[in-house]
Homo-oligomer: A and B are copies of this chain.
């Protein structure tokens, strides 16, 4: 949970709430409640934002508030193509001393999403879980591949699903072909691998199976911040609601995640996610059906 200041070709925000856990919670709470949130914030994190999360069934028992420090702050500016961005400011603040503690009331959580953070912290959280969850998914990034590869390899052995983007999959394995990269990553531990390709959609790998979900072609991408975390939240939310971790159901979960992500980018930060309705989500999932369904009877 964090504060972001974002500049895109369409506008600029002051500090608005962000952070992986915030996006995951907003997306997943459309499908399952409670969301057992674990995070850390500073004295500056607005009470109204905490209340807004609580009102969506997000438990904040695992969110530590540090009274004399500020929340993590990130500021970035997107380029015209919206695919690349410059980081202007990264103030770790409270995140510098983050040692997450899993509250007793969270024990027994069946679906665990580990946001992008030091792999050592991800390992520590998994070790605190008294009962092995039905599914542990994790995100990571190139920074940890460069600075903590041994830890990263250790946590990869402990999780069921990894979510990375295409360049991260290539960097992690040294393979340019995503099919080869996927095979290599699945040997490192995760039985399921999701490779996110932004505007080009996402691939799900499991054994010899591959599923491809497109991104919805949009007239405007207003702000891509949080789209990947929103995707993860929709994906995990659908799985947790259905309690079905078959490959077939994971395909559906990826479509659900893609639908949620397509809302996220329509406005700044979490703004669109806060207001999106069940009917809008259902209608958008139907758009995905229209987008990819075809008839091969004539071939």
A residues engaging B (CB < 8 A)? 80-81, 176-180, 197, 200-201, 203, 209-214, 217-221, 238, 242, 244, 248-249, 251-252, 254-256, 282, 285-286, 289-296, 298-299
Chain B residues, CB < 8 A from A291? 210-212
Is A212 touching B214 in the complex (CB atoms < 8 A)?
yes
Is A296 touching B292 in the complex (CB atoms < 8 A)?
no
> Which of the residues B180, B211, B298 comes within 8 Å of A252, measured between beta carbons?
B298
Complex: how many Å from CA A213 to CA B292?
A: 7
Is A210 touching B217 in the complex (CB atoms < 8 A)?
yes
Task: Known contacts A200-B200, A289-B296; decide if A218 and B176 are in contact (CB<8 Å).
Answer: no
> Which of the residues B214, B285, B289 comes within 8 Å of A214, measured between beta carbons?
B214
Task: Known contacts A81-B176, A203-B217, A217-B203; decide if A255 and B296 are in contact (CB<8 Å).
Answer: yes
A183 nearest in chain B by CB position: B219
Chain B residues, CB < 8 A from A178? 217
Is B299 touching A179 in the complex (CB atoms < 8 A)?
no
Chain B residues, CB < 8 A from A294? 211, 213, 248, 251-252, 254-255
A250 nearest in chain B by CB position: B294
> Which of the residues B197, B256, B282, B298 comes within 8 Å of A249, measured between beta carbons?
B298
Complex: how many Å from CA A190 to CA B214?
A: 24
Task: Known contacts A197-B200, A200-B197, A211-B291; decide if A218 and B298 are in contact (CB<8 Å).
Answer: no
Chain B residues, CB < 8 A from A285? 296, 299
Q: Which 8 A-B pairs have the closest CB atoms?
A: A251-B294, A200-B200, A212-B214, A179-B219, A292-B292, A179-B217, A212-B291, A242-B298
Nearest CB of B to A42, in Å: 37
Nearest CB of B to A235, in Å: 12
Is A176 touching B296 in the complex (CB atoms < 8 A)?
no
Is A218 touching B292 in the complex (CB atoms < 8 A)?
no
Complex: how many Å from CA A249 to CA B292?
A: 13
Task: Known contacts A242-B298, A298-B244; decide if A177 and B218 are in contact (CB<8 Å).
Answer: yes
Task: Known contacts A295-B248, A299-B256; decide if A180 and B211 are in contact (CB<8 Å).
Answer: no
Complex: how many Å from CA A248 to CA B219?
A: 23
Q: Which of A200, A213, A219, A299 has the most CB of B within 10 A?
A: A299
Is B197 touching A299 in the complex (CB atoms < 8 A)?
no
Complex: how many Å from CA A249 to CA B299?
A: 9
Nearest CB of B to A198, in Å: 10
Complex: how many Å from CA A248 to CA B294?
A: 7
Complex: how many Å from CA A244 to CA B299?
A: 12
Nearest CB of B to A205, in Å: 9
A248 nearest in chain B by CB position: B295
Complex: how many Å from CA A290 to CA B211?
A: 7
